[in-house]
C-alpha cells in the first residue's frame, strides 16, 4: 500500500483528552455511587498513566484517595509462543481486589484480547465484586465479546489503520492520532 498512506489526523488533542477523562471520572463515581470500594488498575504502559490521572480527578471531585495499581499482561497474552512482549513490566496492585469494584483502564480498545488477558491477570490477585472497563479510545474491530463501560471517544477505523496515543508522562505530549494505512507517521 506504499504511497497510498493517509496523512495523520488528530483524533483527540490535549484539551479533549482532559475533558474525556474528567467525564469518565464523573461517570465512574455516578455508577459506583461515590468512591467507596473503587480501585483502578491501569494496563501498562499508557493505561497505567490514565489510571493515575483518573485517580487524581476523583480526588479533586470527591476528595477521596482511590487505590491505583498497574497491571502488566505480558504473561497472560494468548500469543506468547509467536509474539513476545519485548519489555516486561512489573505488576503492582497495592490493594486487595477482593470485594472491590476494580476498573481496568487502557488507552485503546481494539480486538479485546488485551482486556481478556488483563481480566485473567486481575483474577489471579483476588476476586473483585465487579470489573469495569474504561478506555480513552474505542476503535472497534472486536474479536472477543468485550465492551467498554466508559469510553473517551469512539473512533471508527479500518483494521489497517493505527491509533497512536501519546501522553505527557510517556511521550511528552497529550494527543491521539490516527495513522495512515501503511502506518506512516
Chain positions contacting other proteins, by CB under 8 A: 72, 74-77, 79-92, 110-111, 113-114, 120, 124-126
Query: Which lies closer to other proteins via its Cβ, residue 28 or residue 47?
Result: 47
Q: Which of 67, 85, 62, 65 is nearest to 75 (CA)?
A: 85
According to DSSP, residue 95 is labeled S
- Residue 180: alpha-carbon gap to chain centroid: 22
Smallest gap, in angstroms, from Cβ of residue 97 to other proteins? Answer: 11
Separation between Cα atoms, residue 26 and residue 38, nearest integer Å: 13
Smallest gap, in angstroms, from Cβ of residue 46 to other proteins? Answer: 11
Smallest gap, in angstroms, from Cβ of residue 21 to other proteins? Answer: 22
Residue 122, sorted as left (phi over 0), alpha (psi -120 to 50) or beta, turns out to be: alpha
According to DSSP, residue 175 is labeled E
Query: Which lies closer to other proteins via its Cβ, residue 33 or residue 90?
Result: 90
Query: Which lies closer to other proteins via its Cβ, residue 72 or residue 174?
Result: 72
Query: Which lies closer to other proteins via its Cβ, residue 120 or residue 181?
Result: 120
Smallest gap, in angstroms, from Cβ of residue 34 to other proteins? Answer: 29
Is residue 181 within 8 A of residue 159, CB to CB? The reply is no
What would the grid cell of residue 170 be? Answer: 510517556
What would the grid cell of residue 61 be? Answer: 471531585
Amino acid at each position: 500500500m506504499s504511497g497510498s498512506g493517509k496523512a495523520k489526523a488528530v483524533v483527540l488533542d490535549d484539551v479533549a483528552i482532559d475533558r474525556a477523562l474528567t467525564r469518565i471520572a464523573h461517570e465512574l463515581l455516578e455508577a459506583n455511587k461515590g468512591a467507596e470500594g473503587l480501585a483502578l488498575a491501569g494496563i501498562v504502559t499508557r493505561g497505567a498513566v490514565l489510571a493515575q490521572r483518573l485517580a487524581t480527578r476523583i480526588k479533586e471531585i470527591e476528595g477521596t484517595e482511590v487505590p491505583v495499581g498497574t497491571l502488566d499482561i505480558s504473561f497472560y497474552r494468548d500469543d506468547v509462543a509467536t509474539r513476545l512482549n519485548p519489555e516486561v513490566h512489573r505488576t503492582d496492585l497495592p490493594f486487595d481486589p477482593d470485594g472491590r469494584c476494580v476498573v481496568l483502564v487502557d488507552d485503546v480498545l481494539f480486538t479485546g484480547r488485551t482486556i481478556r488477558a488483563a481480566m485473567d491477570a486481575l483474577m489471579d490477585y483476588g476476586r473483585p465484586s465487579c470489573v469495569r472497563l474504561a478506555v480513552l479510545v474505542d476503535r472497534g474491530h472486536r474479536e472477543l465479546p468485550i465492551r467498554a463501560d466508559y469510553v473517551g471517544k469512539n473512533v471508527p477505523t479500518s483494521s489497517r489503520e493505527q491509533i497512536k496515543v501519546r501522553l505527557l508522562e510517556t511521550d511528552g505530549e497529550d494527543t491521539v492520532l490516527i495513522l495512515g494505512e501503511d502506518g506512516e507517521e
